Structure 1
Amino acid sequence: MNKNMDQVFLLNLRHLGALLEVAQTGNISEAARTVNLSQPALAQAIGKIERVLDASLFERRSAGVAITEAGALFVARTRRALDYLAQGVRHIRRGSGRPVLVRLDQRVTMSQLRALVSVVGAGSYTGAAMQLGLSQPSLHRAMRELQEIVEIPLLERAGRAIRPTLPADRLVHFVRLMLAELRAGIEEIVSRNQGLGGTLRIGVLPVARAYFLPKVLAEFCTRWPAASVEIIEGPYAELLTHVRQGDVDLLIGSQREQVPEHDVTQQALFDDELVIVGRNGHPLHGKRHLSTTDLLDHHWVMPAPGTPMRVSWERMFEIRGQTPPVLRVQCGSVTIKRGLMLEGDWLTLMSRDQFRLESQAGQLVEIGSPGSDFWRTIALTRRTDWRPTSLQSAFIQLMIKVANELRNT
C-alpha cells in the first residue's frame, strides 16, 4: 500500500465531516454546534487533519476562519469523497425500502470501511487480518458494527468461507471511489508543497507497451522528478474495473467500439496500422502479394475473442470470403507470441507501434499487410466523473503531445 493511502486511513470521517462544516460557515463555534462537538474538540480535529496533510487548511482570524489554498483543494476532495460514501449507502438501502441515512460521517468510521474493503478483497477474515496486521476479532467487530449501521447484510457464509453479498460489492465500489478521492486530495497537497509529485497508477494493455508508453514515461520522469508511475498490467475487463473504482487513474489500450460501462469514457490518442508478422526467414517473407491460401497455410497465434486485435484478424479473412482458421494457440502475451514464431512458421497480427521494437531486434519481420483499412485507435479510458490532479492532467497532456508526434512521423 502506498504512503498516501496509508495517510488516508489516518483520517477520521467525523473530523472530515466537521471540516466541511467549518469551510461552509467560516466559524468554528457555529460549525461545532452543527456537528455536536465542543469548540476545543473541533479545533483539535482540524489540527489532526492538518498534521496528516502537513498543511494549514484555515487561517484563524478574530471574526472566524478563512480557508487557505490548500484547504480549498482538500475540502473539494473531501466533499466528493463523502458524497461517494453517501451514494453507496443510499444505493444498497434503496433496494430494501429503507430511508436515507443522514450524517454518515458521524455514524461510520474509517476503520469499519477499511475492514469492509479488506475482508471483501481477501475473501476471508484471516487473509484480511494478515494483510492489515490486525486481529480477526477486531475485524469481526468492525464488520458487525458496519452492518448494524447500514442495516443490510454485507457478508454471508459459504461453507467455511465467507463471501460478500451483492450490496457489499456495490458498497465497496463506492468506498474505493471515496478512498481514491481522499488520496488525490493528499497528493494535491504534496504537489503544492513539494512541486508536481505523487504517484500515477496507469493500467496498460499490451498494445501500448512497446514504443508509445515508454516514450511518454521517459519524458514524464525527466520533466517531473518528484513524481512516480506505477504500471498495472492485466486483462481489459480487470483493468476497467480498477479504473471504475478509482484504484487505477487511466487505462491505455485499443479503443473499444462501445465501452461496456456508462461511467467511463474514451479519448482517442492516435491510429496505429496493423501488420502481419513472422520470423526472419519465414517462407512468406518477401512475397509481394499474399493470397488467402498463403494466410491459411500457416498457424496463427492471436488473443482472445472480442479483443480488438482478434476482431481485426477475423475481419481479414471475412473480407476475403473465408472463414477464419481454427487457432491452435490463443494468447495475448507478446513474449509468448514472439517465442512461438521463433520456433516455427507461425504468424500474428501486430500494431506497427509494437512491431517497431520487434524489428529492431532483427528476429521478427513484417510479412505483409492485412489490408488497406486495417488500423486501430489507441485511446485512454477514464471515469466520466473523474477529476484529475495537476499531475494526472500533466500526464494526459504529455500523452496527447507524444501521440501527435506519432501522427506526424
Structure 2
Amino acid sequence: MLNTRHLRAFLTVAQSGSVIRSSELIRRAQSAVTRTIKELEKDVGVPLFERRAQGMLLTEFGRALQVRVERAFAEMDAARAAFTAACPAVKSVAQAPIFALAIGRQRLLVFVELVEQHHMGAVADSLGISQPAASQALREIESGLGVRLFSRSAGGLQPTPLGALLGMHIRRALAEIRAGELEIASLQGAMAGSVIVGTLSLGRARLLPTAIIRLMKQYPKLTVSTVEASFEHLAMRLRAGDIDFMLGALREPEHTIGLSREVVTHDLLSLVVRKDHPLARKRQITPADLSAVSWVLPQRGTPTRELLERALAARGLGKARVAVETADLAITRGLLLGSDLMTAVSAHLYHHEIAAKLLAVLPAALPETRRPIGILQRPSSSPSLAARLLMDELHAIGKL
C-alpha cells in the first residue's frame, strides 16, 4: 500500500521530469526526493520511472499512477479553495498539510471514518488502532488547518459543514489512489483488487450475480464487494467516492441530479402469488380480481408501490388493499408461500421460486410499470479498469 506522504514528490517529478526541478518546487533536498521516489516504488512493487541522462521518464506504471494522483490532488485543491473562501482570516488554511496529502494514509482514514461514525472509540476499533492514536490524528489535522472540524454533542463527535466537506474530498482522493494501485496491478497482468458496487434490489437477483460470475472466470483474482442500502444512502456514498457505481432501478432524473445514468435493461412488474392461489388457476385476471385481493407491498411512496398504483388507476381501480407493508424480500416470500396475499414485483427477484413452481406469475400484463434498470456514476469519476470491465459485463447481459 503506497504512502500518501510520497505523492506530492512523485507528481512533481512526473510533471517536471526532473528530480532537481522537483526539489526546487517542493523545497526539499534532491536526496530526499530521490529517497521518496525509491520508497514509493518499493510500496507499489514496480518501477515508476526510467532513470536517463535527460531526466526521469515515466514507465507505463508511472503514467497510470500519475493520472490517479492528479485526480486525487484535484479533489484536495477543491477542498483547499472551499476552506480558503470560508476562512479568509485563518492564514494557516492555504498551506495546511492535509491539502498536500502530507499526512499518513491511516490518519486520513481516521478522519473520514470519524465523519461517518461520530465516535472515536468506534473508529479506533474499526481501524485496529488505539483511541489515543485516533485522537492524535484528528488533532494533527485540525491544528494544521487552524479550524475546528468537529463539535461534541450527545450523539458523539459531529462534523461541522467544513469537516463534512473535507471528509468527502478525502474519501474521493483515497478512492483515486486505490484505483491507481489496482491499475498498476492490472498492468502487471494480475487484475487483482476489488470493485465496490452499491446495489438496489432489482440489480441483485440476476444482473449482478451473472456479471460477477462471468468476470471471475476471466479474472479469478478480482474480488467484488456489494453494499446494500437505500437509494439515498447509496447515492451519498457514491458521491463521496466510497463505491465505484450503483446498480438498480433508475429513479426519475430529478432524483439523480449530479449523477450520470446508463440504462442497462428494462423491467416490468409481475403479479406473483403462491402456486395454489385461487387466482393461479385463472387464464385471465380481471379488474374485479385485483380489487378483491389483499396485497403485500413496499411502503407508500416507493417506486414499486407508485408504479402499481398507477397501473391500478389505469384500470379504473382504487388503491390496493394492502395487508402488509414490507420491502423485505424474505418476509414477502414467506407471506406469499403461506397465504393468499399477492404482490407486485420484478419476477427476477423470485426467479428460483417461480422455476421451482413454489410461486406463480399471474397472466396479467402491466405495461405501465416498465422501468429502466441501470448504472449510476459520478460524472467526474474515472472508474478503474476492473469496474469498467464489470460494467461492460452488465451491459452485455442486459442485451440478452
TM category, shorter: over 0.9
Distance in 1 separating the partners of 2:147 and 2:339 = 58
**Which of 60, 65, 78 is 1:69 aligned to?**
60
Distance in 1 separating the partners of 2:325 and 2:240 = 30
208 and 160 in structure 1: CA distance in 2 versus 1, 3 angstrom threshold: closer
**Residue 126 (structure 1) aligns with:** 121
**Which of 365, 371, 374 is 2:360 aligned to?**
365
Aligned-pair distance for 1:62? Answer: 1.7
Q: Where does 1:377-396 land on structure 2 (aligned, <5 Å)?
A: 377-396=372-391
* Segments ≥4 residues shifted beyond 6 Å: none
Aligned-pair distance for 1:69? Answer: 0.7
Moved more, 97-106 or 285-294: 97-106
**Which of 125, 131, 138 is 2:133 aligned to?**
138
Distance in 2 separating the partners of 1:12 and 1:160 = 31
TM norm structure 2? 0.92
Distance in 2 separating the partners of 1:141 and 1:354 = 48
151 and 304 in structure 1: CA distance in 2 versus 1, 3 angstrom threshold: farther
**Residue 287 (structure 1) aligns with:** 282
Amino acid at match of 1:101: A
1:38 matched to 2:29: yes
Distance in 1 separating the partners of 2:288 and 2:328 = 26
- Contact preservation (8 Å) 2:192, 2:221: yes
Amino acid at match of 1:299: S
- Contact preservation (8 Å) 1:272, 1:353: no
Distance in 2 separating the partners of 1:17 and 1:387 = 21
- Contact preservation (8 Å) 1:263, 1:385: no
The percentage of counterpart residues that share the same residue type is 28
Distance in 2 separating the partners of 1:106 and 1:319 = 57
Q: Where does 1:6-405 land on structure 2 (aligned, <5 Å)?
A: 7=1, 10-13=2-5, 15-97=6-88, 101-102=94-95, 104-105=99-100, 108-159=103-154, 161-258=156-253, 260-369=255-364, 371-405=366-400
- Contact preservation (8 Å) 2:248, 2:374: yes
- Contact preservation (8 Å) 1:107, 1:149: no
CA deviation string 1:109-134 (max 9, x = no partner): 54542221122233211112222232
Unmatched runs of 5 consecutive residues or more in structure 2: none
205 and 38 in structure 1: CA distance in 2 versus 1, 3 angstrom threshold: same
Distance in 2 separating the partners of 1:263 and 1:355 = 33
Aligned-pair distance for 1:67? Answer: 0.9
CA deviation string 1:165-200 (max 9, x = no partner): 222112111111011000000000011113333211
Distance in 2 separating the partners of 1:377 and 1:318 = 21
Aligned-pair distance for 1:149? Answer: 2.6
SS at match of 2:268: strand
Amino acid at match of 2:55: G
Distance in 2 separating the partners of 1:37 and 1:54 = 24
- Contact preservation (8 Å) 1:12, 1:110: yes
Number of residues of Structure 1 aligned to a counterpart in Structure 2: 396
SS at match of 1:152: coil
Distance in 1 separating the partners of 2:302 and 2:381 = 25
Unmatched runs of 5 consecutive residues or more in structure 1: 1-6
SS at match of 1:267: strand
Aligned-pair distance for 1:140? Answer: 2.2
* Cα-Cα RMSD: 2.1
**Residue 4 (structure 1) aligns with:** none
Distance in 2 separating the partners of 1:287 and 1:160 = 56
TM norm structure 1? 0.90
CA deviation string 1:361-406 (max 9, x = no partner): 211101232533331211111111111222222211111111111x
199 and 341 in structure 1: CA distance in 2 versus 1, 3 angstrom threshold: same
- Contact preservation (8 Å) 2:274, 2:358: yes
355 and 159 in structure 1: CA distance in 2 versus 1, 3 angstrom threshold: closer
- Contact preservation (8 Å) 1:89, 1:150: no
Amino acid at match of 1:369: A
SS at match of 1:268: strand
SS at match of 1:66: strand
- Contact preservation (8 Å) 1:188, 1:389: yes
CA deviation string 1:298-339 (max 9, x = no partner): 221222333321221111222233331353322222211110
- Contact preservation (8 Å) 2:291, 2:317: no
- Contact preservation (8 Å) 2:307, 2:368: no
Distance in 2 separating the partners of 1:391 and 1:65 = 29
SS at match of 1:285: helix
Moved more, 209-218 or 96-105: 96-105
SS at match of 2:279: coil
Distance in 2 separating the partners of 1:303 and 1:91 = 41
